Structure 1
Amino acid sequence: MVIGLGTYAFSWQWHPSAERPSTLADMVERTADAGAGVFQICDYPAVEDLDDSSLHALRRQAERAGVALELGTRGIGSDHLARYLELAGRVGARLVRSMVTAGEHRPDADEAVRLLTAALPAYERAGVTLALETYEQVPVATLVDIVEAVGSPALGICLDPANCVAALELPLDTIARTAPHVRNVHVKDFCFTRQTGWVGFSLLGCPLGEGLLPYADLVAAVQPEQRGISQIVEHWLPWQGDSASTIRLEQQWTDHTLHTLRSTP
């Protein structure tokens, strides 16, 4: 089983509110200490500003620690995807997670297919997979249509059923529709509950196994172990009133999730 941690598992540890915000080097070290084999640098734009020497040092640190690196960004603009393919080569990443939309760029399905069709041959030649994440801004059916229309062996889906709940798409439906195309999984449990009183709802994270993520069904449909698909631990952890308490709970959630994943048949 390929289990990893992502920057979203360390969100409050590298947040500016931390007394000493964690660096990428810190997170690689903690990933190795946790016995996880992958670290996904996801939605961490500062990685784009690292010079060649810093990227080389990050790659060597990860190699020494026995941790494979993955990258994560947002958007499918031609220059942006080319930049992340270059970064992947620098750090030895074999997977780049992205999203169809980014900021004001919200391509429709036809434009997305054109952009991806142009970008994917370079990913194929480099042996790098681009995995588009399930997210409420793009219906799951549309995302699957885009991936199938491009038809590249280097293009797949990063499955995160929690995100799609915000668009009122059911986790089981998201899993079933995407399963054949999944190349990466973000593992985070969540609760969708009515707010105090009677107006509104909250979509928040919770420890794995205590919420609405149908993890056993995900494993049965996607078969990540058999297919060599990395499962990246993430959290949606609300602020706990102070940095120390929030970071402490974040680490507890990570430890719990890793234990649960390793205990799952």
Structure 2
Amino acid sequence: MFRLGLNPYGLTYYLGLQGRGTPRHNPDGVGLEGFITLAQELGARTLEIYEPWLTDLTDAEIVALRRRLAALDIVPVVSGGLLVAGPLDNAFRAARLLEATTIRIALTPVLCGDRNAWGPKWSEFNATIRAALTEWGLRAAAEGRVLGIENHQDFGSDELVAFCELGGPGVGITYDTGNTFPVGEAPLAFTRRIAPHVRHVHLKDYRVQFTDEGYRLVRCAIGDGAVPFAELAAILGEHHDTLTAVLEPGALEARHVRCLTDDWWNGYAPKTAREFAACLSAARLNRLADDADYRTPWERDDDSALVSYELDMIRRSAANMKKFDFIAIGEISMTTRDLSGLTAFVTGSGRGLGRVMADRLAELGANVAVHDLDWARPSQYGEFADLGDSARGLEKHGTRITAVTGNIGDKQAVAEMKRKIEAELGDVHVLVNCAGGDIGAKGVKPNPNNALDIDYEDIKVLTENNLIGTMLVCQAFVPPMVKRGSGSVINIASAAAHIGCSPEVVYSTLKAAVVHYTRCLAKELIDDGVRVNAVSPGATKTARFQASRVVDPQRMDSSKKSLNRYAEPEEIAEAVAFLAGPRARFINGQVIRVDGGFTIFPG
């Protein structure tokens, strides 16, 4: 979805733009040529070019540059200056010669959201912008271009949308993903408001350091900070098939947003406590410790470290973004990695069916937390040496993996799992409740296992493992999804939940309860952006399944055309992967029976 590349603003010292006209200016700045060389190294597919570089070139030189970029399959974007600073003739000239459809424009010199610091000038800026957008928006539309006005730490989402409506089809938004925080808005709420109007994206990220006056926005590699890129891209994807996008680490000076001081709010429309709380909550992700040194080499006067600092950060940013399915860069377009950048927790995934589900989610790009009752449990049927061995096997997919142990029926154990997963992988976006099964108090199938004779201790253990555990895990991991406004829960039930069974009466009854709990939870969360569904597998060829019963050899053969057979674990995992991903975004409260037609009836 994002045709990814570079802009110059995260590389200002390396390129020779930082400190121009001062003793700290980099005399060895590489300029436009060095910029293009770096873009080629990173496999850029978009290049946002600093307008003064283009103004210094002749018409013929710009045309030659256009042809050079076309040969490299790079889309040019013209990066203009401030709209309030004067006419845009140079930017339009450059766009015409480059055949660029987008001209990025900042609106005002305001930073840190601090409108109050500009006093009456703020009202003058607004008047100037409205007049300019009316004029230049018409010209852009007439030439088949768009002015991409940037949220440059000055305007909020409603104001930007109003500017677009004023300027008409020739005005859109250059969305700076890090610059929702300077105006006190949460990234996802901001994105939802402006999404239809976005025409170009600046991928920026910050680590946030809270202060007595508000918070400091500290430059970091894109993907290492507070911006939720996967969810943000999903929202934009509802409105656009493809957008140009560029990497832009923040400025070399931290931005201090003094939103806890009264005067800072002058010039803003009223904001609800709920809206501002969402901003503060979002800012806590990957936050910088209050006592950490936030300074860049520029702020520490360590100019000798600046070139490597900028280059290391842009390369790490590119590597981080390549992990997402919505990024196209170089030769790679990872359109099949639907879950890139998300975190999945699969209970009961140290072995068996859950392990295959975890593997499929990791293959689709998710960071995955695997789980079992204890560290040794995956060795029980000879599948893995231990849980660490099981987890290491997922690392082949290039995502982050962690492992947790504990009884899902123990509230404290679940809390400890949550703490470890969030510390190592961040918030969980996909929750798969797979742990359970027809295993009683002695660690094997109950005997007797019929309705009237099953032992009470077996009933308690089965209930804890199959129903109570599912509920406790949801109670722990779903609230952050609700707070974030997105998430997918997949509860693993059973074909036995849909028919009368004997034996396995208690197990099938509890799985039927899981099905109903799924529907109830989906109803409860219908307005919160969290989907809850279930998968009911038929009999599946796991190691435990084969070791715990006499199997029918005729049903073991998956190569035959008949569906009267046992399922392969991968067939169940595909249903889980589908429900976890964006292609199932309007599926909620449903149960997918993956049983080859074993339960062909409604209900």
1:125 aligns with 2:142: yes
Consecutive unaligned residues of structure 2, counting only runs of 5 or more, are 111-120, 253-295, 326-603
After the TM superposition, which of the residue ranges 199-208 and 128-137 deviates more from structure 2? 199-208
1:163 aligns with 2:179: yes
Other-structure match for 2:162:
145
1:63 aligns with 2:70: yes
Q: Is the 8 A contact 1:191 1:205 kept in 2?
A: yes
Other-structure match for 2:105:
98
Between structure 1 and structure 2, the one with the greater Rg is 2
What do residues 202-244 of structure 1 show as CA deviations (whole Å, max 9, x unaligned)? Answer: 2111122221112112101112995221111001254425344
Q: Which amino acid aligns with 2:242?
A: G
CA deviation after TM superposition for structure 1 residue 38, in Å: 1.1
Distance verdict in 2 for CA 1:142–1:107, change over 3 Å: farther
Q: Which amino acid aligns with 2:137?
A: L
The sequence identity of aligned pairs, in percent, is 22
Other-structure match for 2:95:
88
Q: Which amino acid aligns with 1:188?
A: K
Other-structure match for 2:334:
none
Distance verdict in 2 for CA 1:82–1:18, change over 3 Å: closer
CA deviation after TM superposition for structure 1 residue 61, in Å: 3.3
CA deviation after TM superposition for structure 1 residue 253, in Å: 1.8
Q: Distance in 2 between matches of 1:106 and 1:3?
A: 36
Distance verdict in 2 for CA 1:79–1:109, change over 3 Å: closer
Q: Under a length normalisation based on structure 1, what TM-score does the superposition of the two structures give? A: 0.85
1:4 aligns with 2:8: no
1:216 aligns with 2:233: no
Q: Which amino acid aligns with 1:216?
A: A
Name the structure with the higher helix share: 1
Q: Secondary structure at the match of 1:80?
A: coil
Q: Which amino acid aligns with 1:133?
A: E
1:30 aligns with 2:38: yes
Q: Distance in 2 between matches of 1:110 and 1:257?
A: 37
After the TM superposition, which of the residue ranges 69-78 and 103-112 deviates more from structure 2? 103-112
Other-structure match for 2:217:
203
Query: Where do 1:208-247 residues align within 5 Å?
Result: 208-223=222-237, 226-236=240-250, 238=252, 239-240=296-297, 241-247=301-307
Q: Secondary structure at the match of 2:155?
A: coil
What do residues 135-167 of structure 1 show as CA deviations (whole Å, max 9, x unaligned)? Answer: 332232111112123331x32111113223222
Q: Distance in 1 between matches of 2:88 and 2:157?
A: 21
Q: Distance in 2 between matches of 1:246 and 1:78?
A: 30
Q: Distance in 2 between matches of 1:55 and 1:106?
A: 37
What do residues 110-156 of structure 1 show as CA deviations (whole Å, max 9, x unaligned)? Answer: 6534432322232223222211111332232111112123331x321
Q: Secondary structure at the match of 2:245?
A: strand
Other-structure match for 1:260:
320
Q: Distance in 1 between matches of 2:181 and 2:190?
A: 9
Q: Which amino acid aligns with 1:120?
A: G
Q: Is the 8 A contact 1:82 1:119 kept in 2?
A: no
Distance verdict in 2 for CA 1:102–1:78, change over 3 Å: closer
Considering only aligned residues, what root-mean-square deviation do their CA atoms show, in Å?
2.8
What do residues 143-194 of structure 1 show as CA deviations (whole Å, max 9, x unaligned)? Answer: 1112123331x32111113223222222222212111111111001102203
After the TM superposition, which of the residue ranges 66-75 and 235-244 deviates more from structure 2? 235-244
Q: Which amino acid aligns with 2:221?
A: P
CA deviation after TM superposition for structure 1 residue 97, in Å: 0.7
Q: Secondary structure at the match of 1:230?
A: strand
Consecutive unaligned residues of structure 1, counting only runs of 5 or more, are none
Q: Distance in 1 between matches of 2:238 and 2:244?
A: 7
Q: Distance in 2 between matches of 1:243 and 1:225?
A: 43
Other-structure match for 2:551:
none
Q: Distance in 2 between matches of 1:33 and 1:92?
A: 24
Q: Is the 8 A contact 1:5 1:31 kept in 2?
A: yes
Which among 146, 152, 155 is matched to residue 135 of structure 1? 152
Larger relative contact order, structure 1 or 2 (CA cutoff 8 Å, min sep 6): 1
Q: Is the 8 A contact 2:84 2:108 kept in 1?
A: no
CA deviation after TM superposition for structure 1 residue 200, in Å: 6.1
1:185 aligns with 2:245: no
Q: Secondary structure at the match of 1:66?
A: coil
Q: Secondary structure at the match of 1:90?
A: helix
Q: Distance in 2 between matches of 1:32 and 1:225?
A: 29
Q: Under a length normalisation based on structure 2, what TM-score does the superposition of the two structures give? A: 0.40
Distance verdict in 2 for CA 1:226–1:182, change over 3 Å: closer
Q: Which amino acid aligns with 2:49?
A: I
CA deviation after TM superposition for structure 1 residue 62, in Å: 2.4
Distance verdict in 2 for CA 1:215–1:56, change over 3 Å: same
